[in-house]
Structure 1
Amino acid sequence: MPFTKLSGVEELQTLLDSFDTWMFDCDGVIWHGDHLIPGVRQVLALLRSHNKHMIFVTNNATKSRKSYKNKFDKLDVQAEVDEIFGSAYASAVYLSSVVKLPKEKKVYVIGESGLEEELNNEGVAHIGGTSKEDNTFEPFDLHSFKPDPTVGAVLCGLDTKINYTKLAKAQQYLTLNPGCLFLATNEDPTFPVNGGYLPGAGSISAPLRYMLKRDPTAIGKPNSTMLDCVKAKHDFDPQRTIMVGDRLDTDILFGIRGGVSTLLVLTGVTTESDITGPGASPITPDFVTQSLGDLVALIGEENRI
């Protein structure tokens, strides 16, 4: 089914009128790194002025919801903690409420402080992560390694300090501890930053997948676990909901699987050539526009009314 490319104020107005709940990815849609995408602040304010329900659904696992709120504040963009759903939070909820990891069990974390914060908030015990012991570039010595028999899961998120020790310990737990769960916050291979792309959380778990010949259970978009988390906290009508994202294989597929409409913006990973012509992706959004900031045109239109 072909997508609609938004190209005029009337089409933008129809979009505004058609949806009550707006879900947004963040990286590549709202910002690049620490740089807000032009026009986004005004567009989000416009949506709030029309009483739209806002939900920010991100696969970023390095920040807790509280940290994300701080980032929104620094960029002078309104957002509430309960409007933010990151894969770090969803992973913690998955462990505490879905698989119900026993209290005596721990999680071995490959990830950063935001992931640890969300695990703490859900009462999930963990080791690894930002610990000094594991953030080392000393050679890993298997003979001196004393595995913790209470580790019941390995959780991989984006870790910008990934090293051999973390991968080796994770491999040992997944090999030695019976029933140890292999989880990934998300499977994004890259993420956009101002000026290009960097390896994502999916790239961090890739060595373990190769070693173990086993895929992790992925929590974030496009998987239904993330949407279940959103549904548990927010009441919305899928027929009046739209997902705005920059990636076909995560954001847009997430929306399609969730039965909501989708808007692809071209300020992140996906380019127009990915959705047109020979070799185009079979994942098709409902709407496409260059940038979320394009909706700024509606502000000028309202001022003329």
Structure 2
Amino acid sequence: MSPPPQHLTGDKAGIEEFLDRYDDEIFSSSYSASIYISRILTLPADKPKVFVIGETGIEQELAAENVPFIGGTDPSYRRGITPNDFGQIAAGEPALLDPEVGVVLVGLDFHFNYLKLALAYHYIQRGAIFLATNIDSTLPSAGALFPGAGTISAPLIRMLGGTEPTSLGKPSQAMMDAIEGKFQLQRHRACMVGDRLNTDIRFGIEGGLGGTLGVLTGVSSKSEFLTADLRPAAYVDGLKDLLLAK
């Protein structure tokens, strides 16, 4: 069991200043997924495309790595399924099932629907690799919890008999390896900061980082930080406290 975390406090600045200062060093799960697809996966020459369930952020990262994709924010996928669609999908018609798709990448999608789910399932059944940007079950926003990216891949997992996607977000160590490769990271000099024990803090501990810091502005509570078997070395009420922590 980890020792009890230290509580650090402060009262100035905010997350916006932090993000502005370190914008070039932010490594998202969407970026991790794009790196994994473009530099680690070896896709067949005739199946280079990614079918995206997700929003603009995923598309931007794939485009930056010159990875071809379909789906995502394309308005033609933001509709209900029709009786004709069922027949075309079942028959593998190229009009709906692109034969060049070799990967299904699932992230947080605010326009998720039955059509996208059906297409993703049939792509995977036809051999496409099943990836997820992350498997977070919840998304903290406006002081409450909402469905996270993991809830989007959940119905696919159930349809596939429990087959899990390869997750490129925390706590996947594939993401840690990608970060280390990009930034020449010295793990013993790095600290993982996050609000969720089972992803953020686990990511830092299992990745062998020099420290872990919990923040109380998201999912895990103070009591969890203090009593869980896997817990951070320290915790703060919010990221702004880092500027005055001693």
TM category, shorter: 0.7 to 0.9
Partner of 1:155: 105
Count of residues in Structure 1 that have an aligned counterpart in Structure 2: 235
Q: Alignment partner for residue 36 of structure 2, among 80, 94, 97? A: 94
* Alignment-mate amino acid for residue 185 of structure 1: T
* Alignment-mate amino acid for residue 176 of structure 2: L
* Alignment-mate amino acid for residue 88 of structure 2: S
**TM-score, normalising length: structure 1:** 0.71
Partner of 1:274: 224
Partner of 1:181: 129
Structure 1: give runs of 5+ residues left out of the alignment. Answer: 10-36, 45-71
Q: Alignment partner for residue 194 of structure 1, among 125, 134, 142? A: 142
Shift of residue 250 of structure 1? 0.9
Structure 2: give runs of 5+ residues left out of the alignment. Answer: none
Q: Deviations over 1:136-155 (max 9, x none)?
A: 12436311332222211111
> Cα 1:156–1:42, aligned 2, differ >3 Å: closer, same or farther?
closer
Q: Alignment partner for residue 128 of structure 1, among 71, 95, 104? A: 71
2 CA distance for matches of 1:39 and 1:191?
24
2 CA distance for matches of 1:181 and 1:235?
29
* Moved >6 Å (runs of 4+): none
> Cα 1:41–1:195, aligned 2, differ >3 Å: closer, same or farther?
closer
1 CA distance for matches of 2:98 and 2:16?
51
* Alignment-mate amino acid for residue 107 of structure 1: V
Partner of 1:142: 86
* Alignment-mate amino acid for residue 86 of structure 2: L
Answering whether residue 233 of structure 2 is matched by residue 297 of structure 1, we say: no
Partner of 2:165: 216
Task: Answer whether contact 2:9 2:242 (CA < 8 A) is retained.
Answer: no
**Over the residues paired in the alignment, what is the CA RMSD in angstroms?**
2.3
> Cα 1:128–1:275, aligned 2, differ >3 Å: closer, same or farther?
same
Task: Answer whether contact 1:112 1:158 (CA < 8 A) is retained.
Answer: yes
* Alignment-mate amino acid for residue 130 of structure 1: T
Shift of residue 200 of structure 1? 0.8
**TM-score, normalising length: structure 2:** 0.87
